[in-house]
Amino acid sequence: MSFLINIFLMKKLFSFYHTHKNYCYLMAGLTLSCLFMVPFLILGEGSIITYHDQLDGELFSYLLTAKYLFTDLRIYPEIMNGLPAAGAVPPAPLFVLLYVVFEPFTAFMLSQWIIYLTAFLGMYLLLMRLTRRAFISFSIAVIFMLLPFYPVYGLCIPGQPLLLFAVLSLFDREISYDAKFLFPKNTVSCYALILLYGTASSLVLVGFACLLLLGCFALYSTVAAYHSQRKPYYSPWLSLGILLMTYLITNFDLIRQVLFPESTYISHKTEMVLSPQSFSAYFKEALTIGISYAQSYHSILLILSILCLLLYLLLAFMNPEHKKSNSLFKDFSFAYGSLLQKVFDVFSFIFIICLFYAFYHGDLITKIRNASDGILKTFNLDRVCWLLPTAWCILAGYLLSFFAGLWESPAISTPAEAVPDSDASPSAATRLKFSLKHSIIFLTLGFWGITVLLHSPLRPNLSKLLKGGDYYALDWNNFFAEDIFQQIDAAIAKPQESYHVISVGIYPAAAAYNGFYCLDGYSNNYPLEYKHTFRQIMAGELDKSDYVRDFFDNWGNRCYITTAEQANYYTFEKKWNSVIYDLDLDIDKLKDLDCQYIFSAAYLMNAEEKGLSLIQEAPFETENSWYHIYVYAIK
């Protein structure tokens, strides 16, 4: 009896799945987005976070903006002796609200979860609209969700599919009033999604590229309507206007600083010296893996794209009837057309972007930028490559949809297979084709998915859960070392705002996070005058090393005390027992800036002759701390 009940329930579930397949995949993806957060929830502040460009830099744009959100203070005193607000613009302004309401770690984790949710939901809806294949859309959306996005950059990349979905939904509604396949049905919700993307992404990182593409689409739709003698389409222009106005409002300080530097300050970026890069190396990186912050590890898709196009041309050549009609090579409308034509279009877009990225970093453009002033030099157009992860996923959707329907198309089926006998069992050839196309789809998704998982932020945290204390990596707790800095604060026993500190062998962000006022810090847009002031402090170290001097003078985003002995190491682990033998800093200049203490993860051998003294002989540390800290007082 129980066996029959189980069969009945299975049939019910199977029937429910087929009836509501799209919603089943949607709910499965949203559930996975929650499950992917479980390792972070278990580990808590012991979670392993990519600290480069996150914990050491962008996190503070949120913390400072949140702290002074409801004030008129425009100079943040905590870092770099007072950083202008234009130098700490959060990449996702909407996410600042999380840091207003929650503690930093909680806000950071909520950002991660929102990214998971948005990435899956946007990609699934977009691919369902483009391909109508639920399993393929679901699988690619899960892979997209696992890409190594940085939570501090908000929805810059993970929100692109949702933005594109909203724009296409509005446009489809204008050209067709058949709402059967169009969702959401409320146009207000589409404009709300555009507004969401604008407030949760960055104009300078990728927003400019989205505006450019949206502008091209609006212009194309207007020209197409004119040639077809139809009324113009307004939704693309409205979408462009909403996104543009959102960026103008949320980036007001930055835009004013760029357009009217005399009313604010001259950025240190005007003194940058750019270096040309290898065209072939940069092109290969962009085409096969993706650039930094926008990596999608899509090599399998590149191979499949080439094979797919070759196969398509071969099939067209071998089928005389199809060759005569030449229907595979016709131009198609915006909404419909051959999947292979769409594969070609998307791949061409990707190829052009990769070429531009490599050419932009080549010798000619680099020379032009170095000889220029203002926005041409300081603005990085290469971030247009941040569009590539979304483009590769759209390409994957078209590619796999092509293989899924390859032998379903009458154009490339034999007459006998085009209309099979319903009473006859599938032939061996039919079973072989079925197995082949599904093998291609599953192997592609499997290989791509595993590759992405191995590079996702989920992997190190899963490894830490499995290995426990045997897994050695810098986590949130160890990076900020609140327990150590509490000891230091108690030992100094002064109000933190009454003095300044600098750090050696430790990211300045750690001291700033714990409430200390720092002369050093990380910013991609701070006053040139302060760069020159800070250079005076470490001029002795810069003179000893061409590498350190070029790194600071020609770039300078990291306004750190970098010594010739430590080179590009910014944090010294406790187990190294590091020693700096000849620290050459301008102590008098530090005194002029009211710097009273140096936090060093290395023992300074020449401290006494430089006028420094330890406030206690032993370093501040805990049993499991990543580093120990010597605190030197400036006499």
Average pLDDT over residues 192-201: 95
> Could you tell me which of 220, 300, 568 has the C-alpha nearest to residue 212?
220
Sheet containing strand 595-600, strands side by side: 500-504, 595-600, 630-634, 612-614
In this prediction, residue 16 has a pLDDT band, given cuts at 50, 70 and 90, of low
Give a three-class secondary structure readout of 388-412. Answer: HHHHHHHHHHHHHHHHHCCCCCHHH
First CA to last CA distance, the chain: 88
pLDDT top residue among 60 and 263: 60
Torsion, Cα of 436, 442, 448, 454 (10° steps): -140
In this prediction, residue 496 has a pLDDT band, given cuts at 50, 70 and 90, of very high
pLDDT digits (tens, 9 = 90+) for 384-393: 999 999 999 9
In this prediction, residue 489 has a pLDDT band, given cuts at 50, 70 and 90, of very high
Whole-number Å distance between alpha carbons of 90 and 462? 29
- Answer whether 0.85 is exceeded by the pTM: yes
Give the number of other CB atoms < 10 A from CB of residue 72. Answer: 5
What pLDDT sits at residue 337?
41
Upper half-sphere CA count for residue 159 (Cβ side, 13 Å)? 28
Q: Which residues contact 622 (CB under 8 A, 6 or more apart)?
A: 483, 484
What pLDDT sits at residue 485?
95
Whole-number Å distance between alpha carbons of 136 and 281? 32
Whole-number Å distance between alpha carbons of 599 and 632? 7
SS3 629: strand
pLDDT digits (tens, 9 = 90+) for 81-92: 999 988 888 999
**Could you tell me the CA-to-CA distances from 406 to 194, 399, 420, 503 in Å, in that order?**
35, 10, 16, 61
Residue 179 reports pLDDT greater than 60? no
pLDDT digits (tens, 9 = 90+) for 211-243: 999 999 999 888 888 777 777 888 899 999 999
Please check whether residue 574 is in contact with residue 630, taking contact to mean a CB–CB distance below 8 angstroms: no
CA angle 346, 111, 192 (to 5 degrees): 60
CA angle 609, 611, 617 (to 5 degrees): 90
**Burial of residue 182, with CB atoms counted within 10 A of its CB: 0-12 exposed, 13-18 middle, 19 or more buried:** middle
SS3 233: coil
Average pLDDT over residues 4-24: 60
Bridge partner list, 382: none
Count of positions (residues) in the chain = 635
Give the number of other CB atoms < 10 A from CB of residue 419. Answer: 9
Please check whether residue 340 is in contact with residue 405, taking contact to mean a CB–CB distance below 8 angstroms: no
Residue 421 reports pLDDT greater than 60? no
pLDDT digits (tens, 9 = 90+) for 313-343: 665 565 555 444 444 444 333 333 477 778 8
Q: Which residues contact 469 (CB under 8 A, 6 or more apart)?
A: none
Please check whether residue 91 is in contact with residue 202, taking contact to mean a CB–CB distance below 8 angstroms: yes
**Burial of residue 75, with CB atoms counted within 10 A of its CB: 0-12 exposed, 13-18 middle, 19 or more buried:** exposed
> Which range (149-163, 325-339, 444-458, 562-576) has the least confidence?
325-339
Whole-number Å distance between alpha carbons of 57 and 65? 13
Residue 11 reports pLDDT greater than 60? no
Residue 107 reports pLDDT greater than 50? yes
Residue 414 reports pLDDT greater than 50? no
SS3 185: coil
Average pLDDT over residues 43-64: 92
pLDDT top residue among 421 and 488: 488
SS3 325: helix
- For helices 59-67 and 104-131, the axis angle rounded to 10 degrees is 110
